[in-house]
Amino acid sequence: MLIQQIINGLTLGAIYSLIALGYTLVYGILAMINFAHSEVLMLGAFLALGLAALLPALCGSGAAGLAGMFVLSMAGAGVINVLVERLAYRPLRHVSRLAPLISAIGVSIILQNGVFLWVSTQSLRFPEPIAIGRLEVFGATISALQMVILASALLLMGLLHFFVEHTRLGKAMRACSDDISTAGLMGINSDYIIALTFFVGGALGGAAGVLYGMNYGSIKYNLGFLPGAKAFTAAVLGGIGNIRGAVLGGFILGFLEVLASGYIPNGAQWRDVIAFAVLIVVLLVRPSGLLGEKIAEKV
């Protein structure tokens, strides 16, 4: 049972972490909370649903179709995030700190209601990409789905790490995050880097949306809100702006929820209360989050 709960926590945590990365990347560069991120996540899931109907004709079902659906949904979500930045945030970047924040909330409402009005008001069935195969390990049941979710989340986190730490663009991103105007003086096109950051964050959010749809089997116009709020919490818990912090925060939150509903009598009702109470305590002790530093090495 303990092993089973650890697996449950890992799956949940992996999804939270992926979403949290999107918040943290944007915050790292612009010190702004992208409230529309939860909607990018939702749109990623809807894109995947649309592609799932189209793709089998193009590249067949099975692993190729799945990978195609994944990559295209990620790219689509990334592009949407870039457009949101270009249209709703960039014109307001130098106005005040509050204006882009309100603009983000507005974008979130527009995107959510757009899907509500034009796509569907109901839960839509998300196709099951892989048959629910199961693996029995030490009495725990791991579904093929959970393995796919964990593997793809870890792979994406690894890729992100490599991108940020070991490529020239990643270096430019880190430079912008340290000091955006100095980075500009050194010849880095900061507008480009910001757009790139939104693309990467959006793509990760889109990936999380696809995993979310696969995990729960159905999607709805408002699916982004709850995981978005939780992932934002996870990002703050880990130290917002810090990549490792976002991953750590996501897994901690996933485990907390699982422990609360699995081990505390009647804990399912108290799950969110327990998770957020822990968050408050952590922030009281470490106001900048677990891995956040005063002068944060952002991104």
Amino acid 28 reads G
Q: For other proteins, give the closer residue by CB, 43 or 275.
A: 275
Given a contact cutoff of 8 angstroms between Cβ atoms, the answer to whether 257 and 83 are in contact is: no
Distance CA 88, CA 107 (A): 7
Contacts of 98 (CB under 8 A, 6+ apart): none
Given a contact cutoff of 8 angstroms between Cβ atoms, the answer to whether 130 and 144 are in contact is: yes
Is 140 exposed, middle or buried (CB count within 10 Å of its CB: 0-12, 13-18, 19+)? Answer: middle
Least distance (Å) between residue 92 CB and other proteins: 32
| Structure token pair of residue 8 | 């449950």
Is 56 exposed, middle or buried (CB count within 10 Å of its CB: 0-12, 13-18, 19+)? Answer: middle
Amino acid 145 reads L
Q: Is residue 167 a contact residue for other proteins (CB under 8 A)?
A: no
Evaluated on CA atoms 211, 217, 222, 227, the torsion sign reads: negative
Q: Which of 113, 141, 167, 189 binds other proteins (CB under 8 A)?
A: 141
Per-residue binding string, other proteins, 221-240, x by CB under 8 A, is: --x--x--------------
Q: Which of 109, 263, 286, 287 binds other proteins (CB under 8 A)?
A: 263
Q: Is residue 24 a contact residue for other proteins (CB under 8 A)?
A: no
Q: Which of 268, 277, 286, 293 binds other proteins (CB under 8 A)?
A: 268
Angle CA 88–107–192, to nearest 5 = 35
Q: Which of 218, 277, 286, 293 binds other proteins (CB under 8 A)?
A: 218
Q: Which of 8, 24, 152, 242 binds other proteins (CB under 8 A)?
A: 8
Least distance (Å) between residue 119 CB and other proteins: 13
Q: Is residue 298 a contact residue for other proteins (CB under 8 A)?
A: no
The residues in 66-125 that bind other proteins, with binding defined as CB under 8 A, are: 116, 121-125
Residues 159/207/16/42 CA torsion (nearest 10 deg)? 150
| Structure token pair of residue 257 | 């929820």
Least distance (Å) between residue 276 CB and other proteins: 14
Nearest residue to 90 (alpha-carbon basis) of 188, 192, 182, 171: 192
Q: Is residue 137 a contact residue for other proteins (CB under 8 A)?
A: no
Least distance (Å) between residue 249 CB and other proteins: 17
Q: Which of 5, 61, 190, 288 binds other proteins (CB under 8 A)?
A: 5
Given a contact cutoff of 8 angstroms between Cβ atoms, the answer to whether 262 and 272 are in contact is: no
Per-residue binding string, other proteins, 34-73, x by CB under 8 A, is: ----------------------------------------
How many residues at the interface with other proteins, by CB under 8 A? 39
State the residues that interact with other proteins by CB under 8 A.
Answer: 1, 4-5, 8-9, 11-12, 116, 121-125, 128, 132, 134, 136, 141, 143, 145-146, 216-218, 220, 223, 226, 257-263, 266-269, 272
